[in-house]
Amino acid sequence: MFLDGNFCLKIVTLCAISGTLKLLHVAESTSQTTTVSTSTSQDQVPQRIYGLLDKLSCGRKLNASAKFALLLAEFLIKQKMRYVAPTRYERQLFYHLLHRMDHLLKNSSLENISQLEKQILENALKHNVLLLPPTLKYGTLNANADYEQLAMNYEVLVNRGQPNRTQSDLCMREIVNLNPRNCKLSLDCLNVMTSEAIAYGYQRTHQVLLLYMLAHHKCASKLSPPQLYEELAKSHCNDILSEQNAIRSLALGLGKYKDLYLEQATICGLFGYNEFLNWRNVMEIDSWFHDDPNNEHINDLALVFYINALLMLH
Ligand SMILES: *[C@@H]1O[C@H](CO)[C@@H](O)[C@H](O)[C@H]1NC(C)=O
Ligand SMILES: *[C@@H]1O[C@H](CO)[C@@H](O)[C@H](O)[C@H]1NC(C)=O
Ligand SMILES: *[C@@H]1O[C@H](CO)[C@@H](O)[C@H](O)[C@H]1NC(C)=O
Ligand SMILES: *[C@@H]1O[C@H](CO)[C@@H](O)[C@H](O)[C@H]1NC(C)=O
């Protein structure tokens, strides 16, 4: 055990060093075009991503959440490249990241994974995918909604609402396995996604993730007009923004709800809302890795969040 750990640590250090050297080299050759004020943070994002991939390569098998994060991260890069021609530096970086993630997906065994999760992961973002132009949306959400009341009761409220994990996985399996010939989705699953009944925490974020997955399936436009996905995501993410404000306002909020906070930022960030996908959150999340380096679910989420930040924040 200990030997493994040490060995891993050395590899990670080596990777980190060679990664940094490469990045420094690239930074030198592009320094004329990079503005001083943001260059530090922009360089940090690829380094963080390499650091997270190193952690995934080392020391553990992939479970469902790690594998889903890798699939989503790959998808985001490919989608972006399909719509926006990358610079030479970006192309090199993106291909290198894709190569590493592909290797991780192929060259790791899945650990402790349920049949349901397996049926999701075998198909998610692989068949009948609909690419959409990624955009960063400014000022779409209502940043000034009241959250004091929510903050006072958050500990109780955070577990309220639907879907629970099982309902969410069942609906996810339906979505990723939709047949484009008939696009038949159960009423249950539609209700799960579209319900505006009171829900908080992971229940609410799962609704948004399901919407995202459906919006990127070829069946999306057959099931409803594209604006509807946008409207629903906006409505859910408005609620989630109040939750983030509440968490931030609590004395121990970001100690206690880090995982949830990152899940909220990551998932509403997928829809491009700048209220979630911004440099302030990049820095905030970055700071966690100094004191809490080995929470695996946080690492999985952070991979997706950072990849999206790399692609969308310039
Ligand atoms: C995967 O593992 C992490 C860390 O052990 C855990 O937090 C997470 O819930 C697991 N995910 C699934 C889907 O089992
Ligand atoms: C992953 O790749 C390494 C070498 O790159 C190899 O030694 C190992 O057996 C592979 N593992 C799996 C599960 O394929
Ligand atoms: C495997 O998953 C089950 C249920 O998801 C959980 O109770 C159990 O602790 C997990 N085992 C390991 C080794 O993670
Ligand atoms: C999830 O919700 C469904 C529907 O309300 C319920 O039947 C099921 O028991 C719940 N499962 C868990 C694990 O809470």
58-105 residue pLDDT tens? 766 888 999 999 999 999 999 999 999 999 999 999 999 999 999 999
Mean pLDDT of 211-225: 96
Handedness of CA 114, 116, 121, 123 (dihedral sign): positive
pTM: 0.86
- How high is the pLDDT of residue 200? 98
Question: In this structure, which residue's CA is closest to atom 4 in ligand 4?
Answer: 167
- How high is the pLDDT of residue 234? 98
Confidence of residue 40 (pLDDT cuts 50, 70, 90): low
Helices and strands in the chain: count of H runs, count of E runs: 16, 0
- How high is the pLDDT of residue 59? 60
234-265 residue pLDDT tens? 999 999 999 999 999 998 888 899 999 999 99
Question: In this structure, which residue's CA is closest to atom 11 in ligand 1?
Answer: 65
Task: Report whether residue 164 contacts ligand 4, using a CB cutoff of 6 Å.
Answer: yes
Which of 7, 58, 107 should be mutated for ligand 2, with most atoms under 8 A from CB? 107
178-193 residue pLDDT tens? 999 999 999 999 999 9
Q: Do residues 34 and 268 lie in contact, with contact meaning Cβ atoms separated by under 8 Å? A: no
Give the 3-state secondary structure of 195-237.
Answer: CCCCCCHHHHHHHHHHHHHHHCECCHHHHCCHHHHHHHHHHHH
Question: In this structure, which residue's CA is closest to atom 1 in ligand 2?
Answer: 107
Question: In this structure, which residue's CA is closest to atom 14 in ligand 2?
Answer: 107
Task: Report whether residue 167 contacts ligand 4, using a CB cutoff of 6 Å.
Answer: yes
103-135 residue pLDDT tens? 999 888 888 899 999 999 999 999 999 999 999
- How high is the pLDDT of residue 252? 87
Mean pLDDT of 224-237: 96
Token digits of residue 189: 């699953």
Asked if pLDDT for residue 36 goes beyond 90, the answer is no
Distance in Å, CA 139 to ligand 1 centroid: 34
Q: Do residues 244 and 276 lie in contact, with contact meaning Cβ atoms separated by under 8 Å? A: yes
Asked if pLDDT for residue 16 goes beyond 60, the answer is no
- How high is the pLDDT of residue 35? 39
